[in-house]
Each structure stands twice: as structure tokens, then as C-alpha cells.
Amino acid sequence: MTRTFPAAVDVAIVGSGPSGATYARILSEMAPQASVACFEVGPLLADPPGLHVKNIKDAGERAAAQRRSEGPQAERAAAAGTRMVRPGTFLLPDGYRQPGEDGLPGAAMSSNVGGMGAHWTGACPRPGGRERVGFLPNLDALLDEAERLLHVVDDAFDDAPYSQEVRRRLSTALDNGRDPGRRVQAMPLAVVREGDGRVTWSGADVVFGERSRTNSNFTLFPEALTERILVEDGYARGVLVKDLRNGAEHEIRAGKVVVAADALRTPQLLWASGVRPAALGRYLNDQPQTVFAVRLREVTTLPDESAQSAPGQTISKHSGVSWVPYTDEEPFHGQVMQLDTSPVPLADDGVPAPGSIVGLGWFCAKDLQECDRVEFDAYEQDAYGMPAMRIHYRLTERDHSSIEESRKAIRRAAEALGEPLDEEPRTFDPGASLHYQGTTRMGLHDDGASVCGPNSEVWAVKDLFVAGNGVIPTPIACNPTLLSVALAIAGARSIADQLNADRN
């Protein structure tokens, strides 16, 4: 089918993940008269757009949706080998490690409507201590609004078998000396209870919401590669987009441009467009990740038959998820998942009781360094025809110490719960967390150490905004989506206010 690209819009959004969807949603709510177009390089997987793939009931359709998210197949094949790759993602095929460095061998991306929000585990913990963006006085209000858009709840699986017992055992082992708000608790999750009793994962579809989908001034264009931001006299004036269905290029004028790709491809597009502030691509932050699995001791039967999944249940009622929050004294956070929620296989099938195998994942806050960065090649191109990426990344002595302390903490948690299924926890290669941050980081002042200001507008180019995990400036260990959506809300409100002021 042919489709018509607009000649001009008020706002062009690049990327349809949770942060891009946030801009569409807030603009649809606050400035519904504005024309907004969202361009996504990947395909539409399901209806509604941005649906989490785990909500696709048919297993074959779900697997097909994951495969369609895996980018250029040649690029995926080139990355094959011993590196871990998860369904729905594709690895950076080369350039992920430079000689003498640790690199990011686990660096991966997704290309699809909804971005990584179509594949994530929905964990939305709030940052604490040094994780918080201290120069934002309204951060808690923004986090409240992010929870609204993502539909975050903290009691989704209180009826899961053993979840209360898991938390009791973890609390006994880990809570001593912690402030009340940072003790073991249920993990806040982005999920939706449907009218028929099913529980489904929130994807970007939930963030878009009906306000975006019914907004006649909003249009989503899948399989549309944004090749350049059009910059004139220090202002963003539009985007150059290639229709991947037929190869045609379209120049689309825009009053505001929002780049909400991931933390690797957002700086890639800015660099390709000649927008190259000193901090672009720098302070690259991954979260060193360690996993372990245990069989709960002294549990053999379900404590309550009502906790079993109903026929057609999208999320198993065995999906208890507990949270061990980050603290400045222990700069890592843990998520403890009854087996079916883990994105990484942790145990064999054939467990004695549903929900009695528990996966533990501990994520460390990275020691931020300017030299940890993604660079771009002026001559070599990736499979999309964009500048090829080169990752520079090193773990510091502080990082190694933090990883070792997290391994000790995960052992303590495992011993409190039951019998470990392996002799030692497994620490993944850098990049495996998929929680990359910092490459378009926010700052309070244009001091050369940040790319954008508190409202996410790029210092160097007016009317150009960045969004996504790359904007996060702090060394967070918790899952970053809630915070990146909160920061996107501030940026979207700023644009809406400007559009409304211009209209009046």
C-alpha cells in the first residue's frame, strides 16, 4: 500500500518506544491541535501499535513478532557466535570492543514499533540516593506522571505463590540498616489488569493510550528511517526520512524535532546530522549484571489454588517479582523473579512446584567516565546506511569492587531463599543489561559535560529535543524506563507550552 508523508508538521518524533510514545501522549493531551508525526525504523508488530509481544497469545505469532524486531538480518547473522542475544533484539555486529578495553559485547537493540518497550519485563523501580537527578526539583511529580503513563502498580502479583514468603526471607537477610523506603518490597511493575481478569504487560501501546490513537493530528509511520535532522542557523527545521518500503526519501519540515531512539542510535542520528557537542556519545553507562537461581526450600505445593493461572492468562500468576532497592551504601539493586518472568533462562524445566524456582538479578551502578563512549565512523556504514558505531568502554577498579560486592549480596539473598542451582552466580559480559544510558545526558548548565538542558532541549540546537535512556545523567542501577519517561514528560510539556503560547 502507498502512504503519504506530510510536507510539514509541528512536531516530528523519531522513535516509537516508551519515551517517543510519551511525547505523542503528552502532546495529544496538552496540545491536541498540533500536527505530530512519529517515524519508526522498524515494522508494526501488532494492533494496537506498540503492543508488548508477550501479550500476543499465539506462540507462533509471538515468535514471528520477535523475529521482525531483530533488525537487518544480515547484521544479526554477522553478530552470531558466543555472545548472548535475546529474542526480539539484535547485537551490534562489530565495533563493540576496542583493543585493550572491556567493550560492550552484549550491546543490542530492537527495531519495531514500541522499541524495547515491546520486549521488556515492565520493572519500574524509583531511583534513590545518587541515582536521582538532583537538579530537578519536581522529579517526584514527574515520576508520578510516568507511573500514570506506564500504568505502574505495586500489587500486581501479591497473590503469586510464595511471593510473600520470598519477601519475608529477603527482608530478614537484607533489610538491616536500610531506610524504610529502601527495604525489600514488591517490584513496581508496568502491567494492566484487563476487564476479563487477565494481566498484561504494558508496552508503548499503553503509553500512547487512546488520546494518541484517536488524535487525528497524530500519525505513526513504521519502516521509516530518519537519516538526518535538518538544521538551519542553529535551529532544527525538520527531518529527512527514507521510506523503507520503497526507498523514497522525504524532506519533512517541522517546528520541533524529538529524537527518541535508543542510547546508541540517538547520538548516531545527531552525529550524522552534524550536531556534535563535546558530550555527545560520552558518559556511556551500562549496568554490570549478575544473575543466580535458587529452588525455594521447604515448599512443595501451591499455598492457594486461586493463585494458579486462568486459561489464556497472559502473565502467569506465578510471576511474583520482588525488589531490593539501591542504596548509596550498596550501589546496586536487585530484582527477584519467580521463574516465568525472567528474560534470561536460569533453570531447567521440570520444577517440583510452579513458582518455586526463583531467579535473582543484581544490577550495579557504573562508575561514570567521559571516556566511556560510542563514536561514529565517517566512512563506514551500518546495515541501515548510518555511520557505523565504535564502542569504547572500560570497567574501573570501583566497578570491579561493586560487582564483587553485588555477587556477595546475591549469594546472601540466595542462601536466605533456598538451594542455589549453580555453584556460583554468573556475571554477564558488559552490555547484557540492555540499560544503556548517558550518551545524550541532561545537565543544568551548558558546561560541555551534557548534551541537553533540564527540558531535554539540545544546548547546541534550538527546537531539537532528545529522549530515552541516553538522557539520564546519573549512575543509576535501577531499571531506567520509569526515569527516562519522567524526563520525557518534562520535555513534552515544554514543547506543548511553546506550541500553545505560539497559538495564542
The one-character DSSP state at 116 is G
The one-character DSSP state at 479 is -
Task: State the Cα torsion 481-178-144-197 to the nearest 10°.
Answer: 80
119-143 in b/e burial notation, b at 16+ Cβ within 10 A? bbbbbbbbbbbebbbeebeebeebb
- Contacts with 72 (C-beta within 8 Å, 6 or more apart), sequence order: 90, 383, 384
Please calculate the CA angle 45-47-53 and round it to the nearest 5 degrees. Answer: 50
User: Of 151, 250, 435, 445, which residue is the catalytic one?
Assistant: 435
Helix axes 18-30, 139-150, angle to 10 degrees: 100
Please confirm, yes or no, whether 400 is among the known catalytic residues: no
Residue 273 CA: distances (Å) to CA of 229, 248, 390: 5, 19, 18
Contact present, 389 and 374 (Cβ < 8 Å): yes
- Contacts with 400 (C-beta within 8 Å, 6 or more apart), sequence order: none
Polymer length in residues for the chain: 504
Query: What CA–CA distance (Å, rounded) separates 164 from 144?
Result: 26
Region for 456 from its dihedrals, namely left if φ exceeds 0, alpha if ψ lies in -120 to 50, beta otherwise: left
Task: State the Cα torsion 380-384-385-387 to the nearest 10°.
Answer: -50
Q: Hey, which residues does 418 pair with through a beta bridge?
A: 296
CB atoms near residue 373 (< 10 Å): 19
Query: Which among 271, 254, 476, 200 is positioned nearest to 363, based on CA atoms?
Result: 476
Active-site residue set: 435
